[in-house]
Amino acid sequence: MIALKNNSIQSCVFYDITMLLLEIGKRERIELAPPDFDDIEKLTNKVRDICSGADHDKMSEMCVIIDELVNNYISYSFTGVENPHLSVDVEYINGTATLTFTNNGVLFNPIEAKPIDVDVDISERTPGGVGIMLVKQFSEKMEYSVVDGKNELKIIKKMTVDNNS
């Protein structure tokens, strides 16, 4: 039997169809060291390639997630950090995208960020928080942890297949 693993064809035997399905997909790591605002477009284009066939609206939401997170990392997380580094592991399996952002910046759990009060007039609101709100809204699931002293944020998003392709 033939299976895909790490974007290459591998010959192997599966005794369970579930194991075969788990192995079919696309995975890639993108390293940004040091990360730069120009990397946002490169990263979104790479994710578009990996998630080819995804629903257009879901992909647009994923691009907002990437833009907001990378902008925040570059703008706030790396202040005073020597040799800033951001890696993004992208996995696209069975219509679900998982992006894991790992960085050596200031520790910050966006899941615990105070929600903004959208009922308050914008002129009276404290700046900030809208981007994280959008990331939470557009994600099916978010997981945060500190691994070896680094931030690790996992975003899981269903990317329903566009039937118009």
Question: What are the residue ranges spanned by the domains of the chain?
Answer: 26-158
% of the chain at pLDDT higher than 70: 78
The whole-model pTM stands at 0.79
3-state secondary structure 62-118: HHHHHHHHHHHHHHHHCCCCCCCCEEEEEEEECCEEEEEEEECCCCCCHHHCCCCCC
Q: What local confidence, expressed as pLDDT, does residue 160 receive?
A: 77
HSE-up of 28 (CA within 13 Å, CB side)?
13
Q: What integer pLDDT is reported at residue 43 of this predicted model?
A: 96
Residue 8 confidence (pLDDT): 44
Q: Identify the segments of the chain with pLDDT beneath 50.
A: 1-5, 7-11, 21, 162, 165
**Architecture (CATH level 2) of domain 26-158:** 2-Layer Sandwich (3.30)
Q: What pLDDT, on the 0 to 100 scale, is given for residue 128?
A: 66
pLDDT score recorded for residue 15: 54
pLDDT of residue 2: 45
User: For 121, what's the count of Cα atoms within 13 Å in the CB-facing half-sphere?
Assistant: 2
Question: Per the structure block, which two tokens stand in for 122?
Answer: 């914008």
Residue of 59, 63, 44 lying closest to 158 (CA atoms): 59
Output the pLDDT for position 90.
97
Q: What integer pLDDT is reported at residue 25 of this predicted model?
A: 78
pLDDT (tens digit per residue) in 16-56: 555 554 556 789 999 999 999 999 999 999 999 999 889 99
Between CA 165 and CA 163 the distance in angstroms is 6
